[in-house]
Chain A
Amino acid sequence: MIHLFHVTKYYQGCLALHDVTLRVEKGEFVLVTGPSGAGKTTLLKLIFGSEVPTEGQILVQNRNIARLRPSDIPYLRRTMGFVLQEFKLLPGKTVFDNVALPLIIRGLSSTEITRKVMDALRGVSMEHKKTAWASVLSAGEQQRVCIARAIVNSPLILLADEPTGNLDPQLAHDITELFKAINARGTTVMLATHNRQIVEQVNGRVVSLHCGRLVTDQGGYR
């Protein structure tokens, strides 16, 4: 599903990732851990097509990210979901409209949009807030809506960059359970975190980065 071959990434001469080789299979739950600045976000951004590797190759669903034209990137992203630490919701829109956005972009009919949005909202227990403005939601609720938006397209891959970074331990636990449930339905999940509790809660494959280098890869395919 995701293959990285000797990937190196420099940002204006600064090393962010060094010679990372990694293979993630369909349906895996991979936790990317490491201290701040280890290269976790860079790794996810490379997989998401936001960045191009300085060296090496990245295959996502058999498509070489480095060789994709910028105009092809949006179509790749429609098969993936991305959840960020900063919630990134449109404050001037309702919960329903925020979650519906990826489906509107794909040009789905109103009936399909309503069905899929309600399914996604039910999946994160936010269906009762569908008419609420995104700006009035609590932090936990906002992150749930972000997850609903990321899964509404039934993505094959779900990437999450420190999704619980702004949440208290209980909310972080609940959100992690959501990711586990999504993974249990067959979606490949890559979650970047430096929170030990989440690592223990997921009990999945752990890829550790340090200063841009992959230092350990435990519990999964190598």
Chain B
Amino acid sequence: MKRALYVLREAVTGFRLHRANSMIGIVTTAFTLASFGLFGLTYLNVRNVARMLQQDLQVVVYLQDDISDADRERLEQQLRNDEQVAALTYVSKAQALAEFRQQFPEESRLLEGIGPNPLPASFVITLASSERPSADLADFGERVTEFSGVEYVRYNRDWIEHLTLIIRYFELGAVGMGIVLGLASATIIANTVSLAFYARKDEVEILRLIGATGLFIALPYIIEGAMLGAMGSGVALGLLWSGFEVLRARLADSVWLSDVRSLLKFFPAQVSIMLIIAGMMLGALASFLSVHRWMKVRV
């Protein structure tokens, strides 16, 4: 107990004694992590919007003109039983024509000279949520094309694939930036702790003299690093949150972008806590690596 208290007290003392260094460490770590957080936040929101768009996937199954009512009903039943189908609406030829006329009143006269209604009947299908919407959409489309009575299946796969690709690039970017900025933060913390360690080298020598183990000597510095990391990530989150709220307030004032405001989300509480824990662990690890080499010296 006394030992644990000593280690904790030494960590806080070190932090306090080297206040200027500690503050520099916290601020630089905060800005580095905030840069990563900004990227992460952008990625999170792009992914959310993309997911929302992807979950709203619609497939239009056009029917052959000569399909009988019985075959149509059988096809409808077949589609309703499909586990990929979340919702299904039948649009008759007459409804299709009415919708066309409503949507394109100027062009509707083009259809008048070409005899009976040329627009096909169709099923408008909303697909169930999926983790891989692009692939599922393609699978579904190819499968349904083979169904009896189906003339043509239309689904807009290209933009889904583009969106998936963009998200993938964002993910890779996030991992890359995470590694680079994480290493930068770790280096800053390691440097701060190294300076603290060097400033207290006499104390370290005394501890060695009286039989302190490497771990006992290193622990206050590891805790100090963890504190720097946690505070740095806390400040980074604070900066991000403030920036995020300012952006949201600005968007609320804009007539055109006010809808976007409701789509924007900050990191959930669990993610924020995890980011602070990650900063803490990063700081502890950097400190450990920084003081570890000193622990091997046989003085």
Say whether A and B bind each other: yes
Enumerate chain A interface residues (CB-CB to B < 8 A). 49-52, 70-71, 73-78, 82, 84, 88-90, 92, 101-102, 104-110, 113, 149, 153
Instruction: Select one of B206, B208, B296, B298 contacting A90, CB under 8 A.
Output: B206
- Among candidates A90, A107, A110, residue contacting B203 with C-beta atoms closer than 8 Å: A90
B13 to chain A, nearest CB (A): 8
Q: A49-B298, A51-B298 are in contact. List 7 more A-B contacts (CB 8 A).
A: A77-B209, A77-B211, A82-B209, A90-B203, A101-B210, A108-B2, A153-B211
Q: How far is the CA of A183 from the CA of B113 in the complex (A)?
A: 123
**Contact partners of A105 in chain B: CB under 8 A:** 3, 207, 210-213, 216
CB-defined A-B contacts under 8 Å, sample of 11: A52-B298, A74-B208, A74-B213, A74-B214, A88-B205, A105-B3, A105-B213, A105-B216, A107-B2, A108-B2, A153-B211
- Interface bits B1-32 vs A (CB < 8 Å: 1, else 0): 11100100000010000000000000000000
Tell me whether A71 and B213 are in contact in the complex, defined as CB-CB below 8 angstroms, given that A90-B203, A107-B3, A108-B2 are known contacts.
yes
- Residue B255 at the A interface, CB < 8 A? no
**Shortest CB distance A135–B (Å):** 12
Q: Chain B interface (Cβ within 8 Å of chain A)? A: 1-3, 6, 13, 202-203, 205-214, 216, 296, 298-299
Contacts of B202 in A (CB 8 A): 88
Question: Chain B's nearest CB lies how many Å from the CB of A66?
Answer: 11
- Complex: chain B residue closest to A84, CB-CB: B209
> Which 8 pairs between the two chains have the least Cβ-Cβ distance?
A77-B211, A78-B211, A102-B210, A74-B211, A74-B213, A105-B212, A107-B3, A104-B6
B13 surroundings in chain A (CB, below 8 A): 92
Cα distance, A108 to B212, chains bound together (Å): 14
Number of A-B contacts (CB under 8 A): 61
Alpha-carbon separation in the docked complex, A90 to B106 (Å)? 92
**CA of A90 to CA of B211, assembled, Å:** 15
**A104 and B207 contacting across the interface, CB-CB below 8 Å:** no
Known contacts A50-B299, A52-B298; A113 and B2 CB within 8 A of each other: yes
Q: A50-B298, A50-B299, A88-B205 are in contact. Are A102 and B211 (CB under 8 A)?
A: yes
Known contacts A107-B2, A113-B2; decide if A101 and B207 are in contact (CB<8 Å): yes
Please, which residues of chain A bring their CB within 8 A of the CB of B6? 104
Q: Is the CB of B212 within 8 A of A74?
A: yes
A113 to B212 alpha-carbon distance, docked (Å): 16
Q: How far is the CB of A126 from chain B (nearest CB, A)?
A: 17
Which residues on the A side are within 8 Å of B2 (C-beta)?
Answer: 104, 107-110, 113
Q: Which residue in chain A gives the minimum CB-CB distance to B298?
A: A70
* Given A90-B203, A104-B3, A71-B210 contact (CB < 8 Å): no
A92 CA to B212 CA, complexed, in Å: 19
Which of B1, B205, B214, B299 makes the CB contact (< 8 A) with A71? B214
- Report chain A residues within 8 Å CB of B203: 90
**A86 CA / B213 CA spacing, docked (Å):** 22
Residues of B contacting A92 with CB < 8 Å? Answer: 13
User: In the complex, what's the smallest C-beta–C-beta distance from B293 to chain A, in angstroms?
Assistant: 12
Q: What is the CA–CA distance of A101 and B210 in the complex, to the nearest angstrom?
A: 8
Cα distance, A77 to B210, chains bound together (Å): 6
Bound complex: CA of A92 vs CA of B10, how far in Å? 11
